Structure 1
Amino acid sequence: MASPSVAQYTLNRLSQLGIDRIFGVPGDYAFAIDDAAELVPGLSWVACANELNAAYAADGYARIRGAAILSTTYGVGELSAINGVMGSKAHRLPVFHLVGMPSERIQKQGLITHHNLGDNVYDRFQPLSAAAACVSAVLSPDNCIDELERVIREALRQSMPAYLVISEVNGGLPVIGTPAAGQPLTAVKRQRSVPQELEAAVQTILSRLEAASHPVAVLTHLVSRYGVREKALEFIRKTNLPTALTPNDKGTIDEAMPQYVGLYAGDWSSSEAVRDCVGQADLVLDIGGIVTTELNTGLWTGQYDPARLVSIHDNWVRAGGKVFVNVAIDDVLNALCERVTTRCADHGLKLAAPALTGAAADPTTSATFYPRLQQRLRAGDTVVIETGTCMTHLNRMLLPQGVSAEGQGLWGSIGWATPACLGVVMAKTSGHTWMVTGDGSHQLTLNEIAVMGRYGVKPRIFVLNNGLFGIEDVISERGHGYDDLAAVQYHRLPEALGCRNWLTAKVSTVADLDQVLDQIDTHDGAAYIEVMIPNEESQPLPDSTIDSGYKLRTPQPG
């Protein structure tokens, strides 16, 4: 039997992780990769509107399946995708970025090609794209099998993107050697622990828990990235630990769990009770590694005292001044679940979904929209949250039982949500995918709606139209022309972009909104709803609050 080509072997090996889509834009130097995608059983090509969108879509897909494949061409393609791949790095997602490049026959002769700068420096883009990854390789027939195993292991070990370069000629040549047999991602042991370090770390955590009078846990998205979310939730149930989320980690816990106390972000917490519960705890068990950015800590008002903090990271644990290394997060959680005892009392905080407000004739506003959306979510659904003002509302919303959420609060690249929604809905095998975006963010990537229509996916999309970059007004001041948007009639886009059987509407009153939500419940297809929101909602924060985040003022002397 003939050996597979380098490109075909690479895609087949990656698909063994459980990846069934490859997101990308075709390009001449990547034709070997593009052609191979049609030959790998169970792997389907998804032609995105542009390379940045493809990177965002791969990011969304990886959040559900654990890993994803992205394909772009040399130079112009890979550079267009870098922003999206870098976001995957920030959010700890193993996206395998495959890039085609000119043939070695061209390179060896020093021939000058397009997609370059008019010279014969062919590898100038590799350091740029590799910077968005944690590991990289240039694959050839001779090294493909060994190098690919190294790259897969490192990408999964760090849970970050990988960059793979395959020249157009090498992509079509057969691999040399014995192919490796892969496993589904769920069966892969991604990190290994040193026994004595693991035992010391686990004993320390158990001792600190036992000694604490008022311990709490803060759960982060890292547990999802490493496939240990369910084990983390089992630990929380066994200990009955009161558990909070930070804004970046919305949707990680099942918010119907009695242990959930709400969103903690210092002064921006979902309630004073949550702020006090975490802020006054004598032990904060950080499961996953809290990211202490300004937006995740209420402009750094959510401080974590190192003496009271125990953090379980991907492969290390810190407890005060003690650091334990080479301890894999799955091993730590497995050991804790075996040995922990239930000792925490119920936290006593009462969480409730927001009440519906607004009469039928009232205009749609954030206050009338979000509670109604919350009531329509069902177990198994996923909410994709765009960066911007909608993020601040959705992060505070109490998700019903079994509902998850995905956002990009750390990297914060506006426009991410629309293509990421494509990736999420393609990766899910059950439940609906809902997306909420502001019109400013949506304008950056709305051409991906055409791709959704082409592939027949069925997201439920809400575009909140206030005619401006609302979040910019909130963090600066009103009246700047650069915050005004082009007047797009969003509800007409799906038809113009070739989408069929999409429920579309423009709503401006509460009655309109209630009616269209009823229609969505019974509609067997995608929904795309333009919701009018008054731009007066986007009022600037107090000057002192803005300066707390940006530190522009000269401090007072003395």
Structure 2
Amino acid sequence: MKITIGDFIIKRLEEIGINHIIGVPGDYTLQFLEQIRKNGSIEFVGASNELNAAYAADGYARVNGISALSLTYGVGDLGGILGVAGSYAEHVPVIVISGAPPLYAIEHNFRVHHSLGDGNFTNMRHTYEEFTIDSSMITPDNAEEEIDRLIRLAMVHKRPVNIQVPSNISYLEIEVEDGPLKIKEPVSDSERLKSLTDQIIALYKKSIKPHVLIDLDIDRLEIKDKILELIENAQIPFAAMSTGKAILDENHPLYIGIYKGNESEEGVQEAIEHSDFLLTVSPRFIEWNSGTYSQNLPLESLVRLDLNHTFVRDQCYEAVYIKDIINVLLEKIEKNPDKKNLNDRKVEEFKVEKSKKLNQESFWKQVHPFLQEGDLIYGETGSSLKALGAMLMPKDATFISSQIWGAIGYLLPALFGSLLARPNRRQLLFIGDGSFQVTAQSLSRILYNNLNPIIFIINNDGYTIERYIMGMKADYSVLPRWKYSKLPDVLVEKNKMKTYNVHTQGELAKALEAAQDISNGILIEVHLHPEDAPEPLKVFGPEVAKFNFGPRGPKNEKPEFNPDDDNISNREDGKYAKEKDKSNEKEKKDKKFEKKYKQNKKGTGKKGNKKTEKKRKK
């Protein structure tokens, strides 16, 4: 059948379940955006800049399975690539559609705007090749083949791809095969599959202490339900890496906790590292999720599954696909009738003291019971991630963070994207003031699209995570002071979002009560002391400093505030600024007296000179 290139792209996106294309308009994309508008089957949703758009597309894909991002050439491509690289690092499939200059300009090396002005049009595509599975420029000759190939790559490998579309070709017709896009599941080599699964089952049958260790890829590769079925059938205890938090229910009777090498929850390191059968799915250890590389998985009993290959001990089996392996294991491993219950975790009861000032410990304890089954919970890099990472998530909750890429500011626009994809699901964001300021424009888009989030902004006057690594009282960790609870009225006129400004447990209790029944969103600005932090962050900061800087250089100052003091406050109340200046008071006095002493020494009188000399000695 005949179809225009632009309509063919739209058709394919619709077939794979994408209902929105997120992006920023640019002149090289406008013809395609007009096709989207006239077609009507998919909606274009604007973001305020390309970085926000890329993060929003990532958030959309995390709850929808896949997403689409529209950028213009050069300035748009590079503006969004930080977010696309994060999607690649975190295994999130995003279809990046880049509007390029007209085909004739590319083929004849015209010097145009949004380029380097040198007639070179390969650099943007080559840049994207570093952060996607593949990147290709579409022409009328290759359109059907390349569009389908790239979409298949994104769906199978769970990574971004880049489709570069010259601005003047989207209305050109091409001949394509009728029918929807076919995504063929790769098929395992039958001999390799049998040999592998026989060895896995033999190793399992000999085991006395089997365990499963999960990471984020059991979600990305769409096998979490089957992994859980295998765990329940065989009654195998399981642990999660911090990057795999809450992918399987943390309330499950067989869940034993988080594994992070030497920083594991109590009893988990012993269980995992001394297991005589350990099934894992492509774990990726970085310093943050491994207790600074202290993981020690038992090689002699390790089965490491990946998309298209598996290691059993130190032997690698190629051309075996993970879904085929799990299906065979489900068929051949016998069900264990002895039901176990290894999980005694409970949410700690918290009693509100209305007039007491909030601190990090009381805030997270008070918020914990507010979380509900099925919530989508975002924990921004920093104090929010560290606090939530140590918290028991409700049943069927989804926890989203950026633990490998670790970009601050990611989660506000990611929340925007996920709200577009799942507007009827309760979604909560916990974000620090430093992260919020990076991508604050996304709040205007949330308001503009009448979405309904619950947003907690932790206002502690700067980068608390950086303070605990180095520079506790340094100016470089201090932010401009924003009135966050006032922003909705500034960003979108006549918006209906509720806002609360909370300093005490009583004020927080009122805000949480209001948040139980909202339809236009709520923003709760939470004031905490700049030097306060969740306990896991207090451990994390010095470990990062040791890893990053070694034994040389300055040592971090310790916090001086008392977390039990009802009067602790942040810089908005003026106290932190005074506390910060205390260390400079003696130096200022010394300089003042030194100046006066020198003046008196020049002849302003013995009496004055002696008086100043006494003060100087003091």
Q: 1:520 to 1:35 in 2, by over 3 A?
A: same
Are positions 1:236 and 2:234 aligned together? no
Secondary structure, counterpart of 2:523 in structure 1: strand
Q: 2:215 aligns with which of 211, 216, 220?
A: 220
- Give the aligned partner of residue 316 of structure 2: 323
Q: 1:477 to 1:452 in 2, by over 3 A?
A: same
State the one-letter code of the partner of 1:362: K
Are positions 1:521 and 2:516 aligned together? yes
- Give the aligned partner of residue 255 of structure 2: 260
Question: With structure 2 as the length reference, what TM-score do the two structures score?
Answer: 0.85
- Tell me by how many angstroms 1:540 deviates: 6.1
Matches of 2:283 and 2:541, distance apart in 1: 28
- Tell me by how many angstroms 1:365 deviates: 2.0
Q: Which string of whole-angstrom CA distances, capped at 9 and with x for unpartnered residues, describes residues 9-50 of structure 1?
A: 112212210111101000001113222222344311110111
User: Quick check: 2:466–2:477 contact (8 Å CA) kept in 1?
Assistant: yes
Q: 1:379 to 1:347 in 2, by over 3 A?
A: closer
- Give the aligned partner of residue 150 of structure 1: 149
Worse-matched range after superposition: 374-383 or 290-299? 374-383
- Give the aligned partner of residue 25 of structure 1: 24
Matches of 1:347 and 1:551, distance apart in 2: 44
- Tell me by how many angstroms 1:303 deviates: 2.2
Secondary structure, counterpart of 2:132 in structure 1: coil
- Tell me by how many angstroms 1:7 deviates: 1.9
1:38-77 matches, cutoff 5 A = 38-77=37-76
Q: 2:200 aligns with which of 197, 201, 205?
A: 205
1:13-412 matches, cutoff 5 A = 13-182=12-181, 188-269=183-264, 271-286=265-280, 288-343=281-336, 346=340, 348-356=342-350, 359-412=353-406
Secondary structure, counterpart of 1:276 in structure 2: helix
State the one-letter code of the partner of 2:77: E
- Tell me by how many angstroms 1:323 deviates: 1.1
Matches of 1:477 and 1:168, distance apart in 2: 49
Matches of 2:143 and 2:526, distance apart in 1: 50
User: Quick check: 2:272–2:297 contact (8 Å CA) kept in 1?
Assistant: no
- Give the aligned partner of residue 543 of structure 2: 545
- Give the aligned partner of residue 432 of structure 1: 426
Worse-matched range after superposition: 416-425 or 378-387? 378-387
Structure 1, unaligned runs of 5 or more: none
Q: 1:230 to 1:41 in 2, by over 3 A?
A: farther
Q: Which string of whole-angstrom CA distances, capped at 9 and with x for unpartnered residues, describes residues 33-90 of structure 1?
A: 2222223443111101111111101111111111100000000001011110011111
Secondary structure, counterpart of 1:175 in structure 2: strand
Q: Which string of whole-angstrom CA distances, capped at 9 and with x for unpartnered residues, describes residues 411-456 of structure 1?
A: 1011000001111122226430111111111110011000011111
User: Quick check: 1:385–1:407 contact (8 Å CA) kept in 2?
Assistant: yes
- What stretches of structure 1 move > 6 A for 4+ residues in a row? none
- Tell me by how many angstroms 1:356 deviates: 1.9
- Tell me by how many angstroms 1:473 deviates: 1.0
User: Quick check: 2:273–2:298 contact (8 Å CA) kept in 1?
Assistant: no
Matches of 2:424 and 2:112, distance apart in 1: 46
Matches of 1:442 and 1:192, distance apart in 2: 45
Q: 1:459 aligns with which of 442, 453, 459?
A: 453
Matches of 1:442 and 1:69, distance apart in 2: 24
**Highest relative contact order (Cα 8 Å, sep 6+), 1 or 2?**
1
Q: 1:430 to 1:114 in 2, by over 3 A?
A: same
Q: 1:195 to 1:374 in 2, by over 3 A?
A: farther
State the one-letter code of the partner of 1:375: P
1:436-447 matches, cutoff 5 A = 436-447=430-441
Secondary structure, counterpart of 1:178 in structure 2: coil
Matches of 1:382 and 1:12, distance apart in 2: 30
Structure 2, unaligned runs of 5 or more: 553-618
Matches of 1:359 and 1:217, distance apart in 2: 42
State the one-letter code of the partner of 1:197: R
Matches of 2:185 and 2:486, distance apart in 1: 46
Matches of 2:444 and 2:248, distance apart in 1: 33
User: Quick check: 1:250–1:407 contact (8 Å CA) kept in 2?
Assistant: no
Q: Which string of whole-angstrom CA distances, capped at 9 and with x for unpartnered residues, describes residues 171-199 of structure 1?
A: 2211233355226xxxx444321122222
State the one-letter code of the partner of 2:300: A
Secondary structure, counterpart of 2:328 in structure 1: helix
Secondary structure, counterpart of 1:535 in structure 2: coil
Identity %: 27
Are positions 1:493 and 2:492 aligned together? no
- Tell me by how many angstroms 1:542 deviates: 8.9
Matches of 2:246 and 2:94, distance apart in 1: 21
Q: CA RMSD in A?
A: 2.0
Secondary structure, counterpart of 1:536 in structure 2: coil
Matches of 2:97 and 2:147, distance apart in 1: 12
Matches of 1:25 and 1:191, distance apart in 2: 35
Matches of 2:185 and 2:512, distance apart in 1: 43
Secondary structure, counterpart of 1:113 in structure 2: coil
User: Quick check: 2:470–2:545 contact (8 Å CA) kept in 1?
Assistant: no
User: Quick check: 1:112–1:119 contact (8 Å CA) kept in 2?
Assistant: yes
Matches of 1:338 and 1:169, distance apart in 2: 54
Q: 1:524 to 1:404 in 2, by over 3 A?
A: same
User: Quick check: 2:24–2:49 contact (8 Å CA) kept in 1?
Assistant: yes
Q: 1:509 aligns with which of 504, 510, 532?
A: 504
User: Quick check: 1:140–1:175 contact (8 Å CA) kept in 2?
Assistant: no
Q: 1:493 to 1:239 in 2, by over 3 A?
A: same
- Tell me by how many angstroms 1:346 deviates: 2.6
Q: 1:360 to 1:189 in 2, by over 3 A?
A: farther
- Tell me by how many angstroms 1:167 deviates: 0.2
User: Quick check: 2:498–2:521 contact (8 Å CA) kept in 1?
Assistant: yes
State the one-letter code of the partner of 1:125: M
Worse-matched range after superposition: 60-69 or 98-107? 98-107
Secondary structure, counterpart of 2:213 in structure 1: strand
Q: Which string of whole-angstrom CA distances, capped at 9 and with x for unpartnered residues, describes residues 440-484 of structure 1?
A: 111100110000111111111111110011111112231221111
Are positions 1:532 and 2:527 aligned together? yes
User: Quick check: 2:381–2:402 contact (8 Å CA) kept in 1?
Assistant: yes
Matches of 2:434 and 2:545, distance apart in 1: 24
User: Quick check: 1:97–1:163 contact (8 Å CA) kept in 2?
Assistant: yes
